[in-house]
Amino acid sequence: MEVDQNSTNGGIPDVLRMMTYMSPGIPIEYYNLIAHYLEEKLGCRVYLIYESRWSGPPHDKTDPFTLGDADIGFICSTYFRRLHYSHNNDVELLPVAPLVTHIRAHGAPVYFADVIIHKDNMKKYKDFEALRGCKWAYNDPESLSGSIITLKELKKMGANANFFGHLLQSGSHLKSIDMVVNKDVDGAAIDSTTMALMMEKNPDLKRQLHILTSWGPLPIQPIITRKSLPNDLKRSIAAHLLVMHQDPKWLNKLTEFHVTKFTKTSVEMYEEDEELKKEVKGMSMNKQVYY
């Protein structure tokens, strides 16, 4: 796809504010890379804002796009779905997303949830059902890969969060990984891209952790924009991302993060999230007490 150079000349702000909720699970360096690329292509400064407390704007706070504090966002799909279905008129999908490498992705914009255990426990836990009564970590109650897909698998077994003996909210996929490594918990479900990048960066993890199974595919995390951004600017951002892989300089940097290129997406792709959420309606990662 060729970038319309005329469109890049209109509506370009002095500063573009890009915000990610996906770090530290996805390295902040990846989002720095995108910021540098867009600076070069758009000819404006791009500032990166990093929010690690949630995987997206929390429901009890006004999101920064509505407030006008952010222009582009990288968030978990469950948060996008909530914003979209609440008829938020200040946020919209940027219809592009990264293609990440995974043996089961088959060229689709998807990822998976890797269920991990310590290798010392491989004989004890031969499948997910064997983890009944274990200590389990999850990153965020609204995380698709860390929580929602786990609830779906529990429901398929006729169980709920009481399946686990003890539940701990870690706060991030990286902390969940550390808890399994240190044997503070027995298992966790981890974003497959995070898992692959961490194992590549820390070879010791390959000797310490075992991927018991992978759940999915799940639609890749969306990119959103502030709706009031000029349409020409939004089209330019999308068009530039779609051709990023065609420049060997940028492709080499993308592949460091297991991304091959950006591809087109649509709101319909995230309908699967809505169906998944409906499947686990009334369920949560909180253990239920019966009287």
Residue 3 confidence (pLDDT): 39
Residue 10 confidence (pLDDT): 54
User: In 138-156, which positions are buried (b, 16+ CB within 10 angstroms) versus exposed (e)?
Assistant: bbbebbbbbbbbbbbbbee
Stretch among 2-6, 17-21, 49-53, 142-146 having the lowest mean pLDDT: 2-6
pLDDT above 60 for 7: no
Q: pTM, whole model, 2 decimals?
A: 0.88
* Distances in whole angstroms, Cα of residue 222 to Cα of each of 116, 166, 207, 241, 285: 25, 32, 32, 13, 24
Residue 8 confidence (pLDDT): 40
- What CA–CA distance (Å, rounded) separates 206 from 208? 6
pLDDT above 70 for 1: no
Instruction: Encode pLDDT of 203-224 as tens digits.
Output: 999 999 999 999 999 999 999 9
> Looking at the chain, how many residues does it have?
291
As a whole-number percent, the residues of the chain with pLDDT over 70 amount to 95
DSSP lists the bridge partners of residue 35 as none
Residue 287 confidence (pLDDT): 66
| Comparison of pLDDT for 1 and 286, the residue scoring more | 286
What HEC string does the chain produce?
Answer: CCCCHHHHCCCCCCEEEEEECCCCCCCHHHHHHHHHHHHHHHCCEEEEEECCCCCCCCCCCCCCCCCCCCCEEECCHHHHHHHHHCCCCCEEEECEEEEECCCCCCCCCEEEEEEEEEHHHCCCCCCHHHHCCCEEEECCCCCHHHHHHHHHHHHHCCCCHHHCCEEEECCCHHHHHHHHHCCCCCEEEEEHHHHHHHHHHCCHHHHHEEEEEEEEEEECCCEEEECCCCHHHHHHHHHHHHCHHHCHHHHHHHHCCCEEEEEECCHHHHHHHHHHHHHCCCCCCCCCCCC
Q: What is the mean pLDDT of residues 31-35?
A: 98
Strands 72-74 and 223-226: antiparallel
Residue 291 confidence (pLDDT): 29
